[in-house]
Amino acid sequence: MKATYRVLAILVSVIVALQAAFIALGVFGLGSYVQDGHDFTKSQLESGDSSVTGSIGFALHGIGAEVIAVIALVLLIVAFFAKIPGGVKLAAFILGDVILQWVLAFAGFAVWAIGALHALNAFVLFGLGMMAATNARRSTVAATTAATPATETV
């Protein structure tokens, strides 16, 4: 279970990094689309109009948000069985931060400046994922070291 916890924690950080790449793909693609003389409307964004350059980035960012929420929830469930010191607390912080990330995303649509907080919080989420993975690794190493009998040298 410790290995599963560690993999899930690493996945949180990997998906956060991918999320940054996906949204950059969308924004730079949209910039190129507009620069080429096209108009862009909110309805095109909401419909996922594939004729818009970079629309795949926005779609992948949305999918990634759903995936990371599921992984964070599964991580919390696994944490109860993994018996990692502090593991449940870190998993709960991760899930809470994912929820905060969603709140900041929706609030950012209402007040665009909040989008900056959404971006900054992604770094927090990345760090929490890495902390949880590191904590799981240390716990595994400590358990292995404690289980291995010490040998005497002459």
Residue range 13-36, pLDDT digits in tens:
999 999 999 999 999 998 888 888
DSSP letter for each residue of 90-136: HHHHHHHHHHHHHHHHHHHHHSTTHHHHHHHHHHHHHHHHHHHHHHH
pLDDT of 154 higher than 60: no
Percentage of the chain modeled with pLDDT above 70: 91
Q: Which of 129, 131, 122, 130 has its CA nearest to residue 94?
A: 129
pLDDT tens-digit readout, 26-66: 999 988 888 888 787 777 777 777 777 888 999 999 999 99
pLDDT tens-digit readout, 75-119: 999 999 999 999 999 999 999 999 999 999 999 999 999 999 999
Q: What is the structure's pLDDT at 110?
A: 94
Q: What is the structure's pLDDT at 22?
A: 97
Q: What is the structure's pLDDT at 52?
A: 79
